[in-house]
Structure 1
Amino acid sequence: MRTLAASKKIISTAASLLFILTVPAASHAQAPAYPNKPIRIIVAYAAGQGTDVATRLLGEQLSRELGQPIVVENKAGAGGILGTELAAQAAGDGYTLTMGTNATHVLNQFLYPKMPFDPVKDFEPIAMVGTFPMVLAAGASTPYRTVSDVLDAVKRTPGSADVAMPSTSARLVLEFLKERSGAPLFGIPYKGSGSAMTDVLGGQLSLTIDTPLALRPHLAAGKLRALGVTSATASSLVPGVKPVAEQGHAGFEFVAWNALYAPKGTPVEITKALNAAVNKVLAKPDVRQRLLDLGFDPAGGSAVYLGVFAKKERERWAPIIKAAGIRADQ
Structure 2
Amino acid sequence: MSFFGSSSRRRLVHGLVHSAVVIAVACLSPALTHAADATFPNRPITLVVPFPAGSGTDAITRIVATELIGVLGQPVIVENKAGGNATIGAQYVARAKPDGYTLLVATNTPLSAAPWLMKSVPYDAIKDFTPVARGGNLPFMLVINPKLPVQSVQDLVALAKKSPGKMNYASGNSTGIVAGATLGSRAGIDVVHVPYKGTPQAMTDVIGGQVDFMFTDFASGAPFVKSGQMRALSVSSAARSALAPDLSSMLEGGVKDFDLVSWNGYVGPAGMPADVVAKLNAAFVHVLSKPEVKARLADLGFDAFSGSQPEFAKFVADQLVLWGELIKGAGIQPE
Give the shorter-chain TM-score range.
Answer: 0.7 to 0.9
- Aligned counterpart, 2:299: 293
Report if aligned partners of 2:94, 2:128 keep a CA contact under 8 Å in 1. Answer: yes
Q: Deviations over 1:153-188 (max 9, x none)?
A: 434553465433344322210111223233334434
Report if aligned partners of 1:134, 1:230 keep a CA contact under 8 Å in 2. Answer: yes
Q: Deviations over 1:170-221 (max 9, x none)?
A: 2210111223233334434344445544554455554332222333233213
Residue identity in the other structure for 2:169: V
Provide the C-alpha distance between the structure 2 equivalents of 1:40 and 1:233, rounded to a whole number of angstroms.
36
- Aligned counterpart, 2:234: 228
Larger Rg: 1
Report if aligned partners of 2:51, 2:198 keep a CA contact under 8 Å in 1. Answer: no
SS of structure 2 residue aligned to 1:68: coil
Residue identity in the other structure for 2:75: P
- Aligned counterpart, 2:287: 281
- Aligned counterpart, 2:44: 38
Residue identity in the other structure for 1:247: G
Q: Residue 215 in 1 paired to residue 221 in 2? A: yes
Q: Residue 55 in 1 paired to residue 61 in 2? A: yes
- Aligned counterpart, 2:132: 126
Question: Which ranges of structure 2 fall in alignment gaps of 5 or more residues?
Answer: 1-35
Provide the C-alpha distance between the structure 2 equivalents of 1:150 and 1:300, rounded to a whole number of angstroms.
36
1:266 corresponds to which of 272, 279, 282 = 272
SS of structure 2 residue aligned to 1:324: coil
Q: Deviations over 1:122-142 (max 9, x none)?
A: 111111213222211233343
1:306 corresponds to which of 291, 298, 312 = 312
State the TM-score, normalized to the length of structure 1: 0.78
Provide the C-alpha distance between the structure 1 equivalents of 2:253 and 2:97, rounded to a whole number of angstroms.
48
Q: Quick check: 166-175 or 48-57, which moved more?
A: 48-57
Residue 318 to residue 63, structure 1, CA distance change in 2 (3 Å)? same
Report if aligned partners of 1:130, 1:299 keep a CA contact under 8 Å in 2. Answer: yes
1:67 corresponds to which of 64, 73, 76 = 73
2:105 corresponds to which of 99, 105, 111 = 99
Residue identity in the other structure for 1:174: G
SS of structure 2 residue aligned to 1:71: strand
Provide the C-alpha distance between the structure 2 equivalents of 1:31 and 1:216, rounded to a whole number of angstroms.
42
Question: Which ranges of structure 1 fall in alignment gaps of 5 or more residues?
Answer: 1-29
Residue 195 to residue 67, structure 1, CA distance change in 2 (3 Å)? closer
Report if aligned partners of 1:153, 1:160 keep a CA contact under 8 Å in 2. Answer: no
Q: Residue 177 in 1 paired to residue 159 in 2? A: no
Q: Residue 189 in 1 paired to residue 192 in 2? A: no
Residue identity in the other structure for 1:315: V
Report if aligned partners of 1:150, 1:161 keep a CA contact under 8 Å in 2. Answer: no
Q: Quick check: 182-191 or 172-181, which moved more?
A: 182-191
SS of structure 2 residue aligned to 1:245: coil
Provide the C-alpha distance between the structure 2 equivalents of 1:72 and 1:196, rounded to a whole number of angstroms.
23
Residue 191 to residue 281, structure 1, CA distance change in 2 (3 Å)? closer
Aligned length: 300
Provide the C-alpha distance between the structure 2 equivalents of 1:145 and 1:45, rounded to a whole number of angstroms.
31
The structure with higher relative contact order (CA 8 Å, sep 6+) is: 2
State the TM-score, normalized to the length of structure 2: 0.77
Q: Residue 255 in 1 paired to residue 276 in 2? A: no
Residue 261 to residue 80, structure 1, CA distance change in 2 (3 Å)? same
SS of structure 2 residue aligned to 1:254: coil
SS of structure 1 residue aligned to 2:251: helix
Provide the C-alpha distance between the structure 2 equivalents of 1:321 and 1:265, rounded to a whole number of angstroms.
30
Report if aligned partners of 1:146, 1:227 keep a CA contact under 8 Å in 2. Answer: yes
Q: Residue 142 in 1 paired to residue 143 in 2? A: no
- Aligned counterpart, 2:9: none
Q: Quick check: 57-66 or 314-323, which moved more?
A: 314-323
